[in-house]
């Protein structure tokens, strides 16, 4: 075991065929992947989001699951610098789902 414990396994999941998510305006988007950051604190959710956007295709929508309020607030402002658009943040049982589309 290293200095900071065991390395966490990647919890990114590709979604075959796209999982539909309804936005507050009634429109629907299809998720191409989900980044599970439940239990993670800053800066891990931001790093994992950056990595997922980097490997996504243009127009792909990534759902980032977060239960840390600071991380939830940090993702939307970083979208322009990583070539993405923040679509919406949805409240869920265990936290939030931040929806980000690669430009």
Is there a domain that residue 40 lies in? yes
Tell me, what's the pLDDT at 15? Answer: 61
Tell me, what's the pLDDT at 7? Answer: 46
Domain residues for the domain of 29 are 12-102
Predicted TM-score (pTM) of the model is 0.85
Is there a domain that residue 48 lies in? yes
What single-letter DSSP state applies at residue 3? T
Is there a domain that residue 47 lies in? yes
Count: domains in the chain: 1
Give the model's confidence band at 16: pLDDT under 50 very low, under 70 low, under 90 confident, else very high.
low
Is there a domain that residue 50 lies in? yes
Is there a domain that residue 42 lies in? yes
CATH code of the domain covering residue 48: 3.30.110.40
Q: Give yes or no for residue 79 having a pLDDT over 50.
A: yes
- Whole-number Å distance between alpha carbons of 78 and 100: 11
Is there a domain that residue 2 lies in? no
Q: Give yes or no for residue 2 having a pLDDT over 50.
A: no
| pLDDT tens, position by position, 41-62 | 999 999 999 999 999 999 999 9
> Distance between alpha carbon 16 and the CA centroid of its chain, in Å?
17
Is there a domain that residue 93 lies in? yes
């Amino acid at each position: 075991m290293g200095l900071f414990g065991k390395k966490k396994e990647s919890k990114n999941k590709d979604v075959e065929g796209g999982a539909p998510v309804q936005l507050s305006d009634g429109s629907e988007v299809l998720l191409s992947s989900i980044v599970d950051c439940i239990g993670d604190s800053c800066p891990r959710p931001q790093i994992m989001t950056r990595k997922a956007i980097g490997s996504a295709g243009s127009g792909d929508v990534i759902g980032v699951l977060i239960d840390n309020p600071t991380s939830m607030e940090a993702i939307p402002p970083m979208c322009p610098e990583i070539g993405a658009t923040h679509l919406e943040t949805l409240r869920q049982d265990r936290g939030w789902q931040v929806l980000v589309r690669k430009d």
